[in-house]
């Protein structure tokens, strides 16, 4: 799904599921979220 949407949007090949996951975790932490919330999102 990420690959199809990346290609449709014309984004570079290095953007994938790991980048999206890291962006979500960073957003939680920068928004005042806890490490536990970030870990829950990451599935660990």
* CA proximity to 22, closest of 8, 2, 1: 2
Gap between the Cα atoms of 29 and 8, Å rounded: 29
Gap between the Cα atoms of 3 and 10, Å rounded: 10
| Phi, psi at 16, each rounded to 5° | -150, -160
pLDDT band at 37 (very low <50, low <70, confident <90, very high): very high
pTM check: above 0.85: no
Residues 17 and 2 sit within 8 Å (Cβ to Cβ) = yes
Q: 14-35: per-residue pLDDT in tens?
A: 998 889 889 999 999 999 999 9
On the question of pLDDT at 1 being above 90, the answer is: no
> What does the DSSP 8-state code read for residue 7?
H
């Amino acid at each position: 799904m990420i690959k199809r949407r990346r290609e449709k949007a014309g984004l570079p090949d290095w953007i994938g599921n790991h980048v999206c996951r890291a962006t979500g975790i960073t957003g939680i932490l920068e928004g005042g979220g806890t490490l536990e919330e970030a870990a829950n999102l990451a599935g660990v």
